[in-house]
Amino acid sequence: MGTQVDFSLGLAVETVYGTLVTVTRFFESAVKWKYKPVKVQGKGMQPTKAVNRLNRNTLARIEASGEQTIEIPTKGFGVLLQAVFGTLTNTLVAAGATGYQQVHTLATTDPVKSHTIQGVLPTLGGGAGNPHTFSGCVADAITFDVKEGSILTAKIDWLAKTMVTSTAAAAATYPVADLFTFVQGTIFKDITSVPTSTDLAKGTTALANVTEFSLTVKNNLDKGGYNLGGAGQRSRKNLLGVRSITGKMKIEYTDNIMRDAYIAQSSLGLVLTFTYTAGGTLGFDLVGPDPIYPTFQIVLPAILLGGDIPSSNDGQPITLDIDFEAFDNGTAAQSIWVVYRTADLVP
């Protein structure tokens, strides 16, 4: 017996695309799935048959997709980052340390990893949960979002091959983890050093007027793969497209840094870092020795600003809504790095 809060969500990497595996990684996460049998209706006509006929209505394809929203934890998030970005290095942060630095960058080769994802849904009245198990799940996009007074979150857009309801629910276990929040964040413009396998990136000038930040990375996967013999399901993994990296910031008008960069259309580098210090260290830097804490960092070497110039706000504090796009500047090795210092090792 249970209640409506007894939802569980688990994931595992597949060996063969679309072949179910038992989920092993679990997330305190919400997910909204869509499962759509796409039908076609025959157009043939027959005397006295003035309504579409049931036996002429047939399955054309299966379309399945989902949106997973998660509050980013200090442990266990790396497997989702790897699903989106595709390339990962795991390095012990220091000799004798208990944590790793994961550096996630965009994959440059197909195919992407596919996953089995299982959600177990509670029924009204406390009945046994019902598993919906999706195979062939590939991550199409991720959106990071944080605003004043809130928790750092991520929304992941999944494409799937199909869903079954006959797979038994896997027993859920969860990592012991805390959460990254707005109060733990700092943002710098321009970059003095990019991340390495063990070092974080560093910026030049702290921006103290940012109240909201969001960033969307899209893999722009192709939506094909519905081939003969696939029985209406995708028969191959989705292929990578040209990625897009876009974002938004809300800032208070305290200086002209962003205004001038927008007017000149000069590129900026951004380093956004969240550091969780309340739960103890992952080890110590041997040079300092400085403590090493669970950390989440987004590094963008080159962005161009959109939006508008500041204008009056009817006597209220002036704020700016700034959109931006990240680019390959031809110099930095990557257009984006996501660094995750954690006690978790992604296989």
User: Cα-Cα-Cα-Cα dihedral of 289, 295, 300, 305, to 10°?
Assistant: -120
pLDDT exceeds 60 at position 224: yes
What mean pLDDT is reported for the chain? 93
pLDDT of residue 7: 87
pLDDT exceeds 90 at position 283: no
Q: Which one, of 107, 140, 137, lies nearest residue 222 by Cα?
A: 140
pLDDT of residue 86: 96
pLDDT of residue 303: 97
pLDDT exceeds 90 at position 96: no
pLDDT of residue 268: 95
The pair of structure tokens assigned to 60 is: 């054309």
**pLDDT tens digit sequence for 97-154:** 888 999 999 999 998 999 999 999 888 876 678 999 999 999 999 999 999 999 999 9
Domain definitions of the chain by residue range: 8-38+60-342
pLDDT exceeds 80 at position 286: no
pLDDT of residue 159: 96
8 A C-beta contact, residue 258 and residue 320? yes
User: What is the SS3 assignment for 130?
Assistant: strand
User: What is the SS3 assignment for 340?
Assistant: strand
167 burial level (CB within 10 Å; 0-12, 13-18, 19+): middle
**pLDDT tens digit sequence for 32-64:** 999 999 999 989 888 888 899 899 999 999 999
Read off the amino acid at residue 173.
T
pLDDT bracket for residue 296 (50, 70, 90): very high
8 A C-beta contact, residue 72 and residue 102? no
pLDDT bracket for residue 165 (50, 70, 90): very high
Comparing 83 with 290, the larger pLDDT belongs to 83
8 A C-beta contact, residue 134 and residue 64? yes
DSSP 8-state symbol, 169: P
Question: pTM score > 0.75 for this model?
Answer: yes
- CA-based end-to-end distance of the chain: 35
Neighbour count for residue 125 (Cβ, 10 Å)? 9
**pLDDT tens digit sequence for 231-261:** 989 999 999 999 999 999 999 999 998 999 9
Comparing 312 with 273, the larger pLDDT belongs to 273
- Report the share of the chain in percent with pLDDT over 70: 98
Residues 6+ apart with CB under 8 A from 110: 237, 239, 240
